[in-house]
Amino acid sequence: MKGTPVSPGQALEKAHLLAQVHTFDLDKKSLSADKNRIMESIDRAVEQAVARLRRSKERAGAGSELGELFDVQETMILDPAFREEMEKLASQGYEPAAAIMRASGTQEEMFRSLEDEYMSQRADDVHDIASRVAYLVLGMEYPDISRLPENCILAGEDLMPSMLLYADMEHVAGIVLEKGTKTSHVSILASSLEIPTLVGCVGAASVEHGSLSYLDVEAGVFETGIRMEEKSIYAEKIQKYKELRKELRGFTGKDARTADGERIQLLANVIDPVSLGRPAEYGMDGVGLFRTEFLYMNRGKLPTEDEQFAIYKKAAEKIGQNPLVIRTLDIGGDKDVRCLKLPKEENPFMGFRAVRICLKQPDLLNTQLRAILRSSVYGDVRMMFPMVATVGELEALLEITSGAKKELLSEGKAFNEKMKIGIMVEIPSAVIMLEHLAPLIDFVSIGSNDLIQYTYAADRNNKNVEYLYNFMDPAVLWLIKKTIDSSRKAGIECSLCGEMAGDPLGMAVLLALGLRKFSVSTNLALSCKRHLSILSAAECAKAGEKIASARDAEETAGLVRAALPGNYS
């Protein structure tokens, strides 16, 4: 069976078939039911669920990644908008479980409508928490994998995040699911726990319980029904993989360097506070992209300055003396964000999003800027504006920033007056105008995912035009090289934080084009260090000029591969 790799690893164990979550009757009503009785039942169940989460958080440790995940789940359960929806349904006579799951459905629909894959997958978290409350209200036991008799590979249609949170981790050797994506919450959690995980694997729910199975995440393969006489073949594969992992672990405390000794800065892309402990764990040089969209999702009111400040301050303290690059709000009309009340648009990726919204609603940006500025005294905090297209936009953004600084000074609130400010380079116009933008900023970060999308006017989520989405194409590489060269000429820092930075071939191309600062997902950190240690920066540079003048992606790939050492894979 084939699937989508999530968290790297291999396993050879018996399959444990997962029980599926109960399907609730959403239409169940009671003629004699009254709203108060229904809400009393729901409130009791919510109280029980919160108590369990808090006990689990205490066991996990308040400052741990798992502890913070329990915090996220508690916030979802206690969301006022969620309760308001349940009250409305209770007044219409729906039984408690139906009211809970219908209210959950409204929230899930909102998340699933989002174009951003990571944010759309938060629907799973809402469904998960609501299901737990519904089970409690009915006095049922939620599917449980907290007591596994032996090491196993969990296989099934889907796995709720909370089921994994309560799982007997000691015996979970791997996870294979029919549903899910790389950015679903259970995938993020599995990566955090370093459990080998494969999703989108058709047939995983039909596996025979207890059958000997082999999982190779990097190859995207899950094999089941292995005969005992074949076990030694797969055991040998596992041994070779363990040797590679041992080699990778050897890079944990090492700087990222090329084979010829050139120091490369390797930073982390972080999607929410839960993942902030990983960069230091893998010996990375800080956080090159800290997304802030999670603060605005699934809520009726905008996050306050103090609420944001608390999160940014905690992040800065966790990262220590290394840089923490906080990206300002990057949300648009493709997302149903209730607290922003954005209009729906026919072509949201070309429309009203990111700094375009902030410039129309300066108070929205000012609140976030004040919170970021205040956190800057707790570490090397830097701020980055996404989707900047013109010099005029940047000047207006800097003017709002200057206003926020003046306000804080007048209030006697501390901030780092020399905090570095940068922009995302993800629109071709920003590349073209960089010589005029550069004198106003301290750094740039190339967002290769959007840069590719906007270069070819091809929606990266549209399968009909996905053939155009190729970071090896010369047009994209020309724009990247122009950005690197313009940044160097202006004396400002330049990094790249798209998927290209974590791809072995993409990394070699970027090195050839002169980039020396990469920002990648934390689970790619050690493999990136290993790949860099094999590459010679000088040899890659020799291929740089040829690469920039290639005629198509195939020629580019051929030139890059010709310059790679034989042991690069």
Domain ranges of the chain: 4-17+144-230, 35-138, 249-563
Say which amino acid occupies 494. C
Q: Check residue 426 and give its pLDDT.
A: 93
Confidence of residue 33 (pLDDT cuts 50, 70, 90): low
Q: In the sheet where 172-177 sits, what is the strand order?
A: 4-7, 197-199, 172-177, 152-156, 10-17, 212-216, 221-224
Q: 186-209: per-residue pLDDT in tens?
A: 887 787 778 999 999 999 999 999
Q: Which homologous superfamily is 249-563 in?
A: Phosphoenolpyruvate-binding domains (3.20.20.60)
Q: Which residues 6+ apart lie within 8 Å of 311 measured at CB? A: 273, 295
Q: 418-467: per-residue pLDDT in tens?
A: 999 999 999 999 999 999 999 999 999 999 988 998 898 877 667 787 77
Residue 211 clears pLDDT 70, i.e. is over it:
yes
Strands annotated E in 418-461 = 421-425, 443-446
Q: Does domain 35-138 sit in CATH 1.10.1270.20?
A: no
* CATH code that applies to domain 4-17+144-230: 3.50.30.10
Active site residue 171: no
Inter-CA distances, 529 with 248, 390, 499, Å? 8, 36, 16
Calculate mean pLDDT across residues 111-122: 63
Q: Check residue 119 and give its pLDDT.
A: 61
Residue 446, exposed/middle/buried by CB under 10 A (0-12, 13-18, 19+)? buried
The span from the CA of 493 to the CA of 246, in Å, is 34
Q: Are 124 and 184 in contact (CB under 8 A)?
A: yes
pTM over 0.95: no
Q: 141-184: per-residue pLDDT in tens?
A: 878 788 888 999 999 998 887 788 778 888 999 999 998 877 67
DSSP lists the bridge partners of residue 383 as 326, 421
Give the highest mean pLDDT range of 51-65, 267-281, 539-553: 539-553
Active site residue 497: yes
Confidence of residue 343 (pLDDT cuts 50, 70, 90): low
Which residue reads 């700094």 in tokens? 355
Q: 121-137: per-residue pLDDT in tens?
A: 667 778 888 888 998 98
Residue 205, exposed/middle/buried by CB under 10 A (0-12, 13-18, 19+)? middle
Q: 243-301: per-residue pLDDT in tens?
A: 888 888 899 989 999 999 999 999 999 876 767 878 888 899 999 999 887 777 656 67
Residue 382 clears pLDDT 60, i.e. is over it:
yes
Residue 347 clears pLDDT 90, i.e. is over it:
no
From the candidates 201, 358, 494, 497, which is the catalytic residue?
497
Residue 565 clears pLDDT 80, i.e. is over it:
yes
**pLDDT higher at 155 or 55:** 155
Q: Check residue 509 and give its pLDDT.
A: 94
Q: 388-419: per-residue pLDDT in tens?
A: 999 999 999 999 999 999 999 999 999 999 99
From the candidates 185, 358, 531, 540, which is the catalytic residue?
185
Residue 3 clears pLDDT 80, i.e. is over it:
yes
Q: Is 152 helix (H, G, I), strand (E, B) or coil?
A: strand
Confidence of residue 334 (pLDDT cuts 50, 70, 90): very low
Inter-CA distances, 294 with 6, 137, 165, 306, 327, Å? 21, 29, 20, 16, 12
**C-alpha torsion angle, residues 405, 406, 410, 411 (rounded to 10):** -30
